[in-house]
Amino acid sequence: MNEWNDIAVISPAHDIDISTVGELRDQIDNLVASGVYRVMVNCQHVTFIDSSGLACLISRARHLSQNGGLLSLVNTSADVTRTLQIARLLEVLHVTAATRPPVPVLKPGAMPLWSKSFSVRQGIEHLGYYRHRIADMVSTLPMSDSDRFDMALAAGEALSNAYDHANGAVGCMMMVIAYPDRVVVEVRDNGCGYEIAPDEEPDESEERGRGIRLMRMLVDSVEVRRRTDAQGTLVRLIKLLQAPVAAA
């Protein structure tokens, strides 16, 4: 189990069934009791979830939702995703499959519906303020509450990386761009600069590596590269919308 700020990620080592569900239930309950309200269950090593596992996940998801939190299943295999689909639980549980379709390339000349940018002028103790600001910006787009929450958390994680590796992130720029089919958040810092390939698995032992892994769980595309306009790093996050937005 790992924790990032107010997010906890649980990674079961085996299937979620009657023999293991007790341990998972205790982990979730202990996290909630400690004040964590955003729990992600990384199903990378889960090939099967039985009825007892489903009952546990549903009850904990509903409890978190009633208290303003969220439980998600991420990196679910095709078989696990199909099980949830057959049980009609995809609407109850927030599920992100391990293999996502590639994000479509924007058509040449595609114009954004709107874009907003701002400078980061406050310290890391105000990270929550910027997450809420992102959530407010995308509140009018056709996104579920959980997708909106994930976009804001991923943006906060990108900013957290800037705090860690770019002299406190003061002077960092954030931009939110809405297109008919997606929302894009860009974070530009003025640190030494680094990059990571889309298919490269970062080292989880490093703070930066864990943050990138978390962002990849939350959104549809994560790009991390050195800036070409100045010294520093550009992190670009893309979240596809549930339905296209007609241009005004």
Q: Which two tokens stand for residue 55?
A: 């009952």
* Domain spans in the chain, listed from the N-terminal domain onward: 2-97, 114-240
Report the pLDDT averaged over residues 3-24. Answer: 85
Given pLDDT bands bounded at 50, 70 and 90, which one contains residue 127?
confident
Class of domain 114-240: alpha beta
Strand partners, 94: 72
Contact at 8 Å (CB) between 42 and 11?
Answer: yes
Residue 5 backbone dihedrals phi, psi, to 5 degrees: 55, -115
Enter the pTM of the model. Answer: 0.70
Q: What is the CATH number of domain 2-97?
A: 3.30.750.24
pLDDT of residue 83: 84
Residue 78's pLDDT is 85
In the chain, the percentage of residues whose pLDDT exceeds 70 is: 88
- Whole-number average pLDDT of the chain: 85
pLDDT in tens, 94-107: 888 767 778 999 98
| pLDDT at residue 1, rounded to an integer | 47
